[in-house]
């Protein structure tokens, strides 16, 4: 089964807002029915198809070296519909010496994106970082010409090939003052309007963005960005959007994010989450991953509730590609995919937030208040499960699939140790699993708990999953038994 990208003409804002408010309650049962019934539902469980059904995109950053990793590109092309080059369109790559341009690395990303049906966010034209030293050492009276020439040459090269440009990247300090970089020093605050006008002249159809970090919530920096955008709009400067990078720390998504993005949208610009990640102090516990799932879902929901939010991009495909461990010692695990490109709980939470999952609850355990581990278990509880419920969702591509299975203890006793039995449809062969071991790889299989998720208190749920090869039948198993008892579905 292949997952086809469905292109929507434009975000349908009113419909999207309606979806956002209704999604958590009304659609779960309907979606579960669809997903269990056939292919249309299965297609909705990729990030991009679920996002597109909401009128938004779901993107990732990719670097040139990523393109030679076939596991990575298979996830990228099946899950994401927007690409931001991680480094390849920055000034130090594209114009390493004055007037000498190198677009080969960026071109490779564009070619990959085009061949995979993905659009491209151009990143970036003017930034204080990854700036070659010849620019920063120019005499002040030559900086404007160098900046305009760089913008014109690069934006012309990629004309018609990029959806948008981050024209000026990270212009502000955290206190809301403009960064005293070479551009500001030479031209004052007017360099921003000049950069936008120059980019617009080169590629009138590209959406032109200002992009920054720590502007996701309402604070001094976002207030300054807001005032800048308001001023640019009032002067008729071509600006189409503001990018909220969203490099978050676990549990610290600002509560004002949706309201903050909405005030920008009210100025008449689009908004986008452009570089989402959520770093965790390593090693990441299952509770950390549950919090991360909640954080990712919050960000996606924030975008869906804002009428001008056009999409969300993660910074890198998986934890192996993330800049976080290199920049923040002791931190990592910041993306939706682990180091082996297996989806983490955050992936399930995002699919669910986008309305594409059969799961009606958080994919991570939420023990009930009454379920103290010592309250009810006894040796006889082990192996004698109470009632159980299973919700599963499948995401498939040409010859592969992932399946996530959420097991809920619907009984009144704690389950201590579990085995879930089910039969894989013909042609499916498990190649890897997460939060469980599965044996054998085909036919009737047994999925067993790992050391950290064997205890399921009454009402608690755990999500496990697997990746499999498949030969055309990517349907879910017909039934599941937990410790010998048949589970209900839903």
- Dihedral sign (CA 68, 71, 74, 80): negative
Looking at residues 159 to 218 of the shown chain, list those that interact with ligand G3I (rule: CB under 6 A): 169
d(CA 393, CA 464): 11
The smaller minimum CB distance to ligand G3I, of residues 33 and 130, is found at 130
379 Rama sector, left if φ>0, alpha if ψ -120 to 50, beta otherwise? alpha
- Residue from 46, 87, 463, 483 in contact with ligand G3I (CB under 6 A): 87
The smaller minimum CB distance to ligand G3I, of residues 125 and 407, is found at 125
d(CA 488, CA 289): 27
Residue 55 makes CB contacts below 8 A (sequence gap 6+) with 8, 10, 11, 12, 13, 15, 16
Crossing angle between the packed helical segments 190-202 and 220-234, to the nearest 10 degrees: 60
The smaller minimum CB distance to ligand G3I, of residues 81 and 275, is found at 275
Within a 10 A sphere around the Cβ of 40, how many other Cβ atoms?
10
Q: How far is the CB of 446 from ligand G3I (least distance, A)?
A: 41
Looking at residues 462 to 481 of the shown chain, list those that interact with ligand G3I (rule: CB under 6 A): none
The smaller minimum CB distance to ligand G3I, of residues 212 and 302, is found at 212
- Residue from 323, 341, 422, 480 in contact with ligand G3I (CB under 6 A): 323
d(CA 66, CA 73): 7
Looking at residues 125 to 144 of the shown chain, list those that interact with ligand G3I (rule: CB under 6 A): 129-130
d(CA 372, CA 354): 33
Q: Do residues 399 and 370 make contact, with C-beta atoms less than 8 angstroms apart?
A: no
Q: How far is the CB of 442 from ligand G3I (least distance, A)?
A: 40
Looking at residues 367 to 426 of the shown chain, list those that interact with ligand G3I (rule: CB under 6 A): none
Q: How far is the CB of 140 from ligand G3I (least distance, A)?
A: 24
The smaller minimum CB distance to ligand G3I, of residues 95 and 403, is found at 95
Q: Does 154 bind ligand G3I (CB under 6 A)?
A: no
Q: How far is the CB of 92 from ligand G3I (least distance, A)?
A: 8
Beta strands in 80-127 (DSSP E): 82-85, 119-127
Q: How far is the CB of 86 from ligand G3I (least distance, A)?
A: 5
Chain residue at closest Cβ approach to ligand G3I: 323
Looking at residues 44 to 73 of the shown chain, list those that interact with ligand G3I (rule: CB under 6 A): none
Q: How far is the CB of 169 from ligand G3I (least distance, A)?
A: 6
d(CA 357, CA 297): 12
Q: Do residues 298 and 352 make contact, with C-beta atoms less than 8 angstroms apart?
A: no
Catalytic site residues?
170, 275
SS3 116: coil
Residue 314 makes CB contacts below 8 A (sequence gap 6+) with 58, 59, 60, 61, 80, 275, 276, 277, 335, 336
Q: What does the block give as tokens for 120?
A: 């491209």
Q: How far is the CB of 322 from ligand G3I (least distance, A)?
A: 8
The smaller minimum CB distance to ligand G3I, of residues 224 and 462, is found at 224
- Residue from 86, 105, 343, 365 in contact with ligand G3I (CB under 6 A): 86
Q: How far is the CB of 411 from ligand G3I (least distance, A)?
A: 47
Q: How far is the CB of 124 from ligand G3I (least distance, A)?
A: 7
The smaller minimum CB distance to ligand G3I, of residues 154 and 245, is found at 245
The smaller minimum CB distance to ligand G3I, of residues 87 and 447, is found at 87
d(CA 304, CA 424): 35
Q: DSSP for 206-260, please give it.
A: SEEEEEESS-SSSSHHHHHHHHHHHHHHHTT----EEEE--EEETT---TTHHHH
Q: What does the block give as tokens for 350?
A: 């995002």
Query: How many residues interact with ligand G3I (rule CB under 6 A)?
Result: 8
The smaller minimum CB distance to ligand G3I, of residues 86 and 465, is found at 86
d(CA 269, CA 449): 48
d(CA 10, CA 86): 26
Q: Do residues 446 and 419 make contact, with C-beta atoms less than 8 angstroms apart?
A: yes
Looking at residues 242 to 271 of the shown chain, list those that interact with ligand G3I (rule: CB under 6 A): 245
Q: Does 275 bind ligand G3I (CB under 6 A)?
A: yes
Which positions lie near ligand G3I, rule CB under 6 A? Answer: 86-87, 129-130, 169, 245, 275, 323
């Amino acid at each position: 089964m292949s997952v086809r990208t469905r292109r929507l003409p434009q975000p349908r804002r009113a419909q999207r807002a309606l979806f956002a408010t209704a999604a958590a309650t009304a659609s779960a049962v309907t979606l579960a029915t669809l997903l269990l019934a056939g292919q249309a539902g299965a297609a909705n469980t990729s990030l991009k198809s679920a996002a597109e059904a909401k009128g938004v995109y779901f993107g990732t950053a990719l670097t040139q070296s990523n393109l030679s990793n076939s596991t990575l590109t298979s996830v990228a092309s099946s899950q994401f519909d927007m690409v931001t080059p991680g480094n390849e369109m920055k000034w130090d790559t594209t114009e390493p010496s004055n007037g000498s341009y190198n677009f080969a690395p960026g071109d490779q990303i564009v070619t990959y994106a085009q061949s995979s049906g993905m659009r491209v966010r151009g990143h970036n034209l003017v930034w204080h970082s990854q700036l070659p030293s010849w620019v920063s050492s120019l005499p002040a009276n030559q900086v404007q010409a160098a900046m305009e020439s760089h913008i014109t040459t690069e934006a012309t090269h990629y004309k018609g090939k990029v959806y948008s440009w981050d024209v000026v990247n990270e212009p502000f300090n955290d206190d809301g003052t403009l960064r005293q970089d070479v551009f500001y020093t030479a031209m004052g605050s007017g360099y921003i309007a000049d950069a936008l006008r120059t980019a617009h002249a080169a590629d009138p159809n590209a959406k032109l963005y200002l992009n920054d970090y720590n502007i996701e919530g309402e604070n001094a920096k976002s207030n300054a960005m807001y005032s800048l955008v308001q001023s640019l709009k009032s002067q008729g400067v071509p600006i189409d959007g503001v990018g909220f990078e969203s490099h978050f720390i676990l549990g610290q998504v600002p509560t004002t994010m949706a309201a903050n993005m909405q005030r920008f949208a009210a100025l008449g610009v689009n908004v986008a989450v452009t570089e989402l990640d959520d770093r965790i102090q390593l090693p990441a516990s299952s509770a950390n991953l549950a919090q991360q799932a909640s954080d990712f879902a919050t960000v996606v929901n924030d975008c869906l509730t804002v009428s001008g939010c056009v999409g969300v991009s993660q910074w890198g495909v998986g934890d192996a590609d993330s800049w976080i461990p290199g920049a923040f010692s002791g931190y990592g695990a910041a993306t939706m995919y682990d180091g082996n490109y297996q989806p983490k709980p955050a992936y399930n939470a995002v699919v669910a937030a986008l309305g594409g999952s059969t799961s009606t609850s958080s994919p991570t355990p939420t023990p009930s208040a009454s379920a103290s581990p010592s309250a009810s278990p006894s040796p006889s509880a082990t192996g004698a499960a109470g009632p159980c419920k299973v919700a599963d969702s499948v995401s498939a591509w040409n010859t592969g699939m992932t399946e996530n299975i959420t097991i809920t203890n619907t009984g009144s006793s704690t389950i201590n140790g579990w085995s879930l039995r089910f039969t894989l449809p013909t042609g499916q062969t498990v190649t890897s699993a997460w939060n469980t071991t599965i044996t054998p790889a085909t036919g009737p299989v047994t999925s067993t708990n790992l050391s950290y998720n064997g205890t399921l208190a009454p009402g608690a749920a755990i999500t496990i999953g697997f990746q499999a090869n498949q030969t055309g039948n990517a349907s879910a198993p017909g039934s599941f038994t937990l410790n010998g008892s048949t589970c209900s579905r839903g």
